[in-house]
Structure formats: C-alpha cells, structure tokens
Amino acid sequence: LVILMILLEVLFYFDYMILNFVFFYIFSIYFKLMIKMKKILLLFLVSISMFFYGQKKYVVVIHGGAGTILKKEMSPELEQKYRDKLKEALAKSYEKIKEGKSSLEAVEAAIVVMEDSPLFNAGKGAVFTSDGRNELDASVMYGKDKSAGAVAGLTVVKNPIKAALAVMQKSEHVMMIGKGAEQFSKNQGLEIVNPKYFWTQHRWDALQKVKKAELKANQPNAMNNHHYPSYYWVDRKFGTVGCVALDKEGNIAAGTSTGGMTNKKYGRVGDAPIIGAGTYADENIGISGTGWGEFYIRTSAARTVAAKYEYQNKDVKTATEEVMLEIEKLGGDGGMIALDKNGNVAMTFNTEGMYRGMVTEDGEITIEIYK
Ligand code: ASP
C-alpha cells in the first residue's frame, strides 16, 4: 500500500487525476479492500490530489515603484500608459512561465519591459544624480539555490537587470560595480548605449526641482527630526521596478532595478542592488522592495521578511507589513511585493500609491496604482 501511495503521489504531481483514480481502483481490487476502506482511501487521495494541484500554482507579481502617486495629480492618459506598461510586463513574463521557463526568465522579461520604458525609474527612465548623470543599480536572486547577482553604478548598460543576471550566471561573484561591471557586461555581449540614452526631460526637471529645494533646505534649522534635509521630501516619486515570480517547478526568483533617488550623491548605492535589502529569494518566498533605500538597507528589509516567514510562520502579508512598519518608525517609506511558494501574494506600501500588478496561472491580470 505504501508503494501504491508513492506511485500515486508521483502521478498526482503530473496532474494525471483520472489516471490516479484508475490506478487506485485497480490496486484496491487487487488488495481486496473492504468497500468502507476504499471510500476512506478515496477521500484521502482526493485531498492529497487537491493539495498537490494547489501546490503547482504559478504567479508573477510586479511593482513599478511606490511614492507620492495621487489620482488627482495623474491625468487619465498617463494613468493608462502606466497600466498598459505594467500589463505588457506581466504578459511577457506570464508567457515565459506558461511555456515552462524558469522564474528567473520571467523576472528578466518583466523587468526589461519596464527598464525600456521612460515611465519608470529604471533603465531608460532613470533619475539623475546630483551631478546630472544616471547611475543604475539592479539585482536578481534565485530561491532554489540562493544564487544571486547584482550591479551598481552602471552608466552605459541598457538593461541593468541583464547585467545582474550575467554576474549571477557567468561570474564567480555576486556583486560588481562601476567600470568593472560595465566591462564585464560588454564582455558578455550585453547592449551598451551612450549615457545620453538615459536622459529624459521629466527626470531632468525633477532634479532641478529637488536642487532648488535643497538650496532652501541648506538654510539654518532646515533639518528634520530624522537628520535628513527636508529636500528629501520634495518630488520623491519613486519608480523603481521589481518582479517576483513562481514557476511551474515551484521555484521562486526576485529582481529589482532602479536609477536610485533623484539628486543622489557621490557613488551613492541604494537597497535595490543589495541582496537581502531590496531583493531576496529562497525556497519559500521572494521579495522586491521600492522606497527610500537607506532604510531598506538598515533594516535588511527583504531578508527580514523571509526570516519572519520562515522562523515565525508569518504569512506574506503580515511579514511585509511588519517590516514596512519598522521602516516607517525609522522615518522611511516605500513598499514591497512578496510571493510565497504557495502562490500567496502581498503588495504592501506606506506611501500614497504603488504601481503594482500580478498575473495568476489562469492568465488573469490585475493592476493597481492607488491605495
Ligand atoms: N529604493 C531605491 C533606492 O533607494 C529607490 C526607489 O525604490 O525608488 O535607490
């Protein structure tokens, strides 16, 4: 009977439900089990079959940044543009996963769509540093074996998420920065662009606005309680992108890509390329964050969510909410997405809005922006 059960479990895994029952029937006759016994066994088999069926969920969840996103400040046309792009990213990613590709490929597909759009603060739409340049960060992690790759301070690589993936898959390192990371990306045949590619009017205007506020903030008594100059509170529309995917094999991958924060200085690196801060994935859960990076680094945000899930048995929602609360108490803000091995999703944020969306195995896409 034990062998029979093991064989059945293997069949359940492949979803051959009908075969399972035929199999069971033949064996139950063979064992000349009593009618009552058969019923009990049948019930048992149906329940484990449903359990395994439930296990095989595949889901993709994305974010396009959290921040001061208010409906009253958004034109219907712009909102539609965001919705369409998020939808496109989810559709591309879903395609991969449906074909049976790994969650890593699904994460890459979704993030590349958003990196190529000027709407998000990643790739093409990256924000400016204080000296008017664009420095891009990204990271990726694969839950099955906890392999990871990250890049920071890129200025010429069109898709930083691809560079992070290359570091993970083609080098013996986890993190590479600046010129070295760019040289490595070139050697890997990734697309290199002129830094001007990342110039966009709206990000340039945002830099000028923050600089003006910074000037004002440099007046005496302009510091706030958290020892950050008040210009940090001006026009801080985040637009970092991230994705967590669960594939048919039950493996989770997470990735994050960003231009950082407007007016960031002197080689500043945020949480996005830091494994355990902005991105994390293990065999249970995957997380991608967006927000005021310094606080995500200080709280090891993404890894803390995974630890709460694993060691305290917190569900995805509770775990992310608790970490966001910790960030908030320290004076930070933003959001994060999390997805566990059973397909449970959390999209948590403490800002006015977060561009976000998900697609489930039936192909149904949901997109949300505001609270
Ligand atoms: N977390 C990013 C950073 O601090 C910014 C963001 O998510 O918008 O670099």
**362-366: long-range contacts, CB 8 A cutoff, minimum separation 24:** 363/94, 363/98, 365/87, 365/90, 365/91, 365/94
Instruction: Round to whole Å and give the CA distance between 238 and 66.
Output: 5
Q: How far apart are CA 172 and CA 337, in angstroms?
A: 28
- pLDDT of amino acid 89: 98
129 a catalytic residue: no
Please list, in sequence order, all residues whose beta carbon lies within 8 angstroms of the beta carbon of residue 285, skipping any fewer than 6 positions away. Answer: 143, 252, 305, 306, 309, 310, 316, 319, 338, 339, 340, 341
Whether 284 and 309 have beta carbons less than 8 Å apart is answered as: yes
pLDDT in tens, 71-115: 888 899 999 999 999 999 999 999 999 999 999 999 999 999 999
Atom number of ligand 1 nearest to Cα 67:
8
> Is residue 153 a contact partner of residue 137, using CB atoms and an 8 Å limit?
yes
Which atom in ligand 1 lies closest to the alpha carbon of residue 270?
Answer: 9
How many angstroms is it from 278 CA to the middle of ligand 1?
A: 8
pLDDT mean over 109-130: 97
> Which range, of 68-77, 217-226, 309-318, 331-340, averages the lowest pLDDT?
217-226
Minimum CA distance residue for ligand 1 atom 9: 260
Ligand 1 in reach of 238 Cβ (< 6 A): yes
Which residue type, as a one-letter code, is found at position 346?
A
User: What are the backbone dihedrals phi and psi of residue 359, each rounded to the nearest 5 degrees, phi first?
Assistant: -135, 135
**Catalytic pick from 68, 129, 155, 240?**
240
Instruction: Tell me the average pLDDT across 21-45.
Output: 70
Where do runs of H (alpha helix) occur along the chain? 2-13, 17-30, 35-55, 76-98, 103-115, 160-170, 178-187, 201-217, 293-298, 301-311, 316-330
Percent of the chain with pLDDT over 90: 73
Q: Tell how far the Cα of 237 is from the centroid of ligand 1, in angstroms.
A: 10
pLDDT on residue 11: 65
User: Dihedral of CA 35/40/42/45: which sign?
Assistant: negative
Q: What is the CA radius of gyration of the chain?
A: 23
Residue 126 is given by DSSP the state P
pLDDT in tens, 103-114: 999 999 999 999
**From the CA of 357, how far away is ligand 1's center (Å)?**
18
The best mutation among 69, 137, 228, 238 to test binding of ligand 1, ranked by most ligand atoms within 8 Å of the C-beta, falls on: 238
The mean of the pLDDT values for the chain is: 89
